[in-house]
Amino acid sequence: AKKIVEVDLKEKGSDLHAATVVGDTVGDPFKDTSSVAMNPIIKFTTLFGLLAVELAIEMDPALRVGLAVVFFVVSAFFVWRSFYGMRIPVEAPAHAKKH
pLDDT greater at residue 90 or residue 44: 44
CA distance 96 to 75: 39
pLDDT in tens, 67-89: 889 989 998 998 888 877 766 77
In a domain, 29, yes or no: yes
Among positive and negative, which fits the CA dihedral 9, 14, 19, 24? positive
Q: Which amino acid is at 51?
A: L
Domain ranges, residue 58: 2-86
User: Is 6 a member of any domain?
Assistant: yes
Confidence of residue 96 (pLDDT cuts 50, 70, 90): low
Question: Is 78 within a domain?
Answer: yes
What's the one-letter identity of residue 72? F
Three-point CA angle 52, 68, 56, nearest 5°: 40
Rounded mean pLDDT of 13-27?
A: 88
Residue 95 has pLDDT above 80, yes or no: no
Q: Is 20 exposed, middle or buried (0-12, 13-18, 19+ CB in 10 A)?
A: buried
In a domain, 99, yes or no: no
In a domain? residue 94: no
The pTM of this model reads 0.40
Quote the number of domains for the chain.
1
Residue 5 CB: number of other CB atoms within 10 A?
18
Q: Residue 74: what pLDDT?
A: 92
pLDDT tens-digit series, residues 21-68: 988 888 777 776 776 777 788 888 888 888 888 877 888 888 888 888
- Assess if residue 95 is contained within a domain: no
Residue 97 lies in a domain: no
Whole-number pLDDT of residue 82: 80
**Residue 91 within a domain:** no
